[in-house]
Amino acid sequence: MQNSDIGLVSGEEEQDLNLLSEEADHGSEESDLYEHFTLTSAPGQMMLRLDVFLATFLKNTSRSRIKNATLAGNVFVNDQVRKASYKVKPGDKVSVLLPYPPPPELSPEQLDLTIHYEDDSILLVNKRPGMVVHPGVGNHTGTLVHGLLWHFNQLPKGNGKDEYLRPGLVHRIDKDTSGLIVIAKNEYALSWLARQFYDHSCERTYHAIVWGNLKEDKGTITGNIGRSLKDRKIFQVFSDPNEGKHAVTHYEVLERFGFATYVKCNLETGRTHQIRVHFKHIGHTLFSDSFYGGDSILAGTNTGKFKHMIQQALLLCPRQALHAKTLGFVHPDSEKWMAFDSEIPKDIQAALELFRQYPQS
């Protein structure tokens, strides 16, 4: 938590405002896509309109970002959603959630994207495995964002909310995880959707194949997740409640094969690698997940025939068997609930079909 005093000049009198907290919430799969600020007005502070208050003290934030965050219900005073016209009083605690705008300097690339749904404000892509969602270290081209920039450049410019269309990320999935991801096409939609993903009021289900035979048909995995102390590239579950970030995964068994289990997962939180780390933690690593050791035989009869079958399955599905199957949220324009479903990709389907042919022990 940061503390600083910021002066506000009104006429000849200088007032103080204490910035009690101005920090982003980190540690989740989507958290670094947002800025979350908390500002507390000092005793004696002059009353200001909420939008003027934010524009004054969030120095590097455009008025359009503040306006859209307010319209989307992402600005709170004393934990209640307030309109831009609200007058901030001394002692008021003002919180605001701001999604980061997409970087403007990227070059559009014509990529093979599977558009699942599109309208004036949002677009859903059924991401193929192997595609990185956004640029980062070692991934400067060929990302989903590059492809979206090309796609948006082919559309009519402007839709009443922004001068131009641009892709805005509100969540993401791992490079080798397939499935649905929603993209905001304007700043208002970006702010509207950001709130739902930030507070986990959206609904997401994943389908996965895990090693071993889960004992229960339904269950919940709870455990704080953070970067491994031994290998910073991977994540782990911490027993110490002061380490990592709180994470909860609910699962339901869809099909059993004895040596493996096909499951549906619902995320209560959205930590990086959450499903992969949680299942590894309980001894059921995701099938073909080389990052966490799932690309070797972890269960089964270990016979020659079984080894051959698993080798075939690993070739058919050479990445973690994890698919973001469904996605539900409230639409930014209609304010109605929308739910989307996607087919299981061919590589996971092929592995499942092979498992079904193998006699269960």
What integer pLDDT is reported at residue 2 of this predicted model?
32
The predicted-structure confidence for 36-67, as pLDDT tens digits, reads as follows 888 888 887 788 888 888 888 887 788 888 88
DSSP 139: B
Inside any domain, residue 104: no
Per the domain annotation, does 23 fall within a domain?
Answer: yes
Closest by CA position to 163, among listed 50, 74, 62: 62
Whether residue 151 is contained in a domain is answered as: yes
* pLDDT tens-digit map of 106-131: 788 899 999 999 999 999 999 999 99
Q: In the listed set 176, 199, 222, which residue is the last one of a domain according to the structure?
A: 199
Task: Point out the least confidently predicted range of 37-51, 263-277, 339-353.
Answer: 37-51
Q: What is the pLDDT of residue 1?
A: 28
Q: Which residues pair with 55 in a beta bridge?
A: none
Residues 123 and 84 in one domain: no
Where in the sequence is the domain holding 349, given as residue range(s)?
205-326+340-357
Alpha-carbon span 226 to 194, nearest angstrom: 23
For residue 3, CA distances in Å to 6, 40, 79, 253, 340 come to 10, 11, 20, 49, 44
Identify whether residues 233 and 194 lie together within a single domain.
Answer: no
- DSSP category for residue 102: P
For residues 154 and 253, membership in a common domain is answered with: no
Whether 307 is in a domain gets the answer: yes
Same structural domain, 138 and 70: no
Separation in Å, CA 217 to CA 129, 212, 251, 286: 28, 13, 8, 17
In a domain, 332, yes or no: no
Active site residue 174: yes
Which pLDDT score is estimated for 355?
96
pLDDT of 165-213, one tens digit each? 567 888 989 999 999 999 999 889 999 998 898 888 999 999 999 999 9
Please tell me the distance from the alpha carbon of residue 148 to that of residue 183, in angstroms, as a whole number.
Answer: 9
> Contact at 8 Å (CB) between 61 and 120?
no
Cα distances (angstroms) measured from residue 184 to each of 7, 181, 190 = 36, 10, 5
How far apart CA 57 and CA 2 sit, in angstroms, is 14
pTM attached to this predicted model: 0.81
| Confidence bin at 361 (pLDDT 50/70/90) | low
> Taken in order 284, 286, 288, 293, is the CA torsion positive or negative?
negative
Largest CA distance in the chain: 87
Same domain? For 95 and 125 the reply is: no
Task: Please indicate, yes or no, whether residues 173 and 247 belong to a single structural domain of this protein.
Answer: no
Neighbours of 167 (CB within 10 A): 21
* Region of poorest pLDDT, from 10-14, 43-47, 91-95, 116-120: 10-14
Q: Tell me which of 174, 176, 295, 347 is the catalytic residue.
A: 174
pLDDT given for residue 156 in this prediction:
56
Q: Does 350 lie in the same domain as 230?
A: yes
| End residue of a domain, out of 199, 227, 252 | 199
Angle at 292 between CA 287 and CA 295, to 5 degrees: 40
pLDDT band at 8; cut points 50, 70, 90: very low
Closest CA to 28 of 174, 237, 246: 246
141 pLDDT tier (thresholds 50, 70, 90): confident
Lowest mean pLDDT across 81-90, 97-106, 327-336 = 97-106
Confirm whether 333 is domain-assigned: no
pLDDT at site 59: 77
Clarify whether residues 177 and 229 are in a common domain: no
Query: Residue 4: pLDDT above 80?
Result: no
CATH of the domain at 12: 3.10.290.10
**Under 8 Å between Cβ of 218 and 185:** no
24 shares a domain with 140 = no
For residue 28, pLDDT over 70 is answered with no
Are 122 and 229 in the same domain?
no
pLDDT value of position 31: 57
Q: Please check whether residue 335 lies inside any domain of the structure.
A: no
Nearest to 320 by CA among 354, 345, 356: 345
Question: Average pLDDT, stretch 99-105?
Answer: 70
pLDDT digits (tens, 9 = 90+) for 213-233: 999 999 999 999 999 888 888
Do 279 and 191 lie in a common domain?
Answer: no
Based on the fold, state whether residues 235 and 293 are members of the same structural domain.
yes
Q: Please tell me which residue, 257 or 46, carries the higher pLDDT value.
A: 257
Q: Please check whether residue 40 lies inside any domain of the structure.
A: yes
Percentage of residues of the chain with pLDDT beyond 90 = 50
Q: What is the CATH number of the domain that holds 165?
A: 3.30.2350.10
For the chain, give the mean pLDDT: 84
Q: What one-letter code names the amino acid at 160?
A: G
- What tokens appear for 209 in the block? 């194949």
Query: What whole-number percentage of the chain has pLDDT above 70?
Result: 85
Domain's final residue, options 175, 199, 223: 199
Count up the domains in the chain and report the number: 3
